[in-house]
Amino acid sequence: MELRHLRYFVTVVEEQSITKAAEKLCIAQPPLSRQIQKLEEELGIRLFERGSRPVKVTEAGMFFYEHAVQILTHTAQATSMAQRISAVKQTVRIGYVSSLLYALLPQIIYLFRQRYPDIHVELIECGTRDQIEALKSGKIDLGFGRLRLTDPSIKRILLRKERLKLAIHKHHALAEYIDSGIYLSQILDEAIFSYPATPKPNFATAIQSIFTELGLVPKKMIEVREIHMALGLVASGEGICLIPETASDIGMKNLAYIPILDLEAYSPISLSVRNMDQSSYIPKILDCIQSVFQQEQISMHNEDS
Ligand code: BEZ
């Protein structure tokens, strides 16, 4: 039995006439009569009293009519709901740590928007640790962060290890190392600004861990609210600070940047997703990252971590 048979039957009942129903359905009368007969044969019941004018539905026919109307109504509702769902733009919520705005995040998101205009992107600033809970609760779908945090429900994909640089005033005594680079052991006596102040763990704690890993203890670490404050204070001659190398694009006046030579001096950039998430936006964003990395001549790390 097809839906059109139900529609034919319902129309004949409502019009109380094969002729009027045929007109309404825009089909000829003989095929309509044949389809009603076939329906009766298929159901093994008589739907209409024989020879009645106007057409009179039997008791069993009336029972079938009421259910047929419900089936047709549900089908129409399901069709329009499915059409509405497919018309609504898919939304991807992306959590990110703010320092990635100085890195390649803007380029990657811009490219994603160009390539997939039907996907609505929402950007939500969120510390790396908070991203784990936000992924689990569905507040975000993807998280870009800088910390090596692990959780059994979250898959972390290491994208690259961004080198660190030392920001100094251009006339600072350490400026002689601008070309040669410098080791962290050479800056322990300096006043070092670290940031952000919250939430912990953050870039400041990651820097502290690098010193600890190297067995080094800086004499004076001063925590400030955020990177612009740290750089502003460095430009004022108050001290120095470590930054991910892309943050040198901030371009504050009178600053100079020295490469850090210790192998451990990097900040990992990773993408976190829910374990088992098979959504198509994951390969799509990874493709965009790959394209931006190629453009910037950066090689993408190819292992999960
Ligand atoms: C990057 O600078 O490498 C980067 C930033 C955000 C997302 C992915 C990669």
Q: Which fold has domain 3-87?
A: Arc Repressor Mutant, subunit A (1.10.10)
C-alpha 101/C-alpha 107 separation (Å) is 9
Q: How far is the CA of 269 from the centre of ligand 1 (A)?
A: 6
- Over the chain, what is the mean pLDDT? 93
Query: Residue 84: which pLDDT band, with cuts at 50, 70 and 90?
Result: low
Residue 111 Cβ < 6 Å to ligand 1:
no
Q: How far is the CA of 230 from the centre of ligand 1 (A)?
A: 22
Q: Is the pLDDT of residue 213 over 90?
A: yes
Going from N- to C-terminal start, the domains of the chain cover: 3-87, 91-159+268-304, 163-266
Nearest CA to ligand 1 atom 1: 104
Query: Residue 77: which pLDDT band, with cuts at 50, 70 and 90?
Result: confident
Q: How far is the CA of 96 from the centre of ligand 1 (A)?
A: 10
pLDDT tens digits for range 159-177: 999 999 999 999 999 999 9
Residue 92 Cβ < 6 Å to ligand 1:
no
At 250, is the secondary structure helix, strand, or coil? Answer: helix
| 91-159+268-304 CATH choice from 1.10.645.10, 3.30.420.10, 3.40.190.10, 3.30.70.100 | 3.40.190.10
Give pLDDT, residue 51: 81
C-alpha 305/C-alpha 302 separation (Å) is 10
Nearest CA to ligand 1 atom 7: 105
Residue 292 Cβ < 6 Å to ligand 1:
no
Q: How far is the CA of 4 from the centre of ligand 1 (A)?
A: 55
Give pLDDT, residue 303: 55
Give pLDDT, residue 200: 86
Q: Is the pLDDT of residue 115 over 90?
A: yes
At 15, is the secondary structure helix, strand, or coil? Answer: helix
Q: How far is the CA of 200 from the centre of ligand 1 (A)?
A: 21
* Mutate-to-test residue for ligand 1 from 159, 266, 298, highest number of ligand atoms within 8 A of CB: 159
Query: Would the pTM of this model clear 0.85, i.e. be above it?
Result: no
Q: Are strands 266-274 and 220-223 parallel, antiparallel or unpaired?
A: unpaired
pLDDT tens digits for range 39-73: 999 999 999 998 888 889 999 999 999 999 999 99
Q: CA 24: distance to chain centroid?
A: 49
One-letter amino acid at 299 equals S
**Mean pLDDT computed over 206-218:** 97
The reply to whether domains 91-159+268-304 and 163-266 share a CATH topology is: yes
Give pLDDT, residue 300: 87
**Mean pLDDT computed over 98-127:** 95
Residue 144 Cβ < 6 Å to ligand 1:
yes
* Mutate-to-test residue for ligand 1 from 144, 273, 295, highest number of ligand atoms within 8 A of CB: 144
pLDDT tens digits for range 235-258: 999 999 999 999 998 889 999 999
Q: Is the pLDDT of residue 302 over 80?
A: no
Give pLDDT, residue 50: 86
> Which ranges constitute the DSSP H helices of the chain?
3-15, 18-25, 29-43, 59-87, 105-115, 128-137, 203-213, 227-235, 281-295
Q: Does domain 163-266 have CATH number 3.40.50.300?
A: no
Residue 142 Cβ < 6 Å to ligand 1:
no
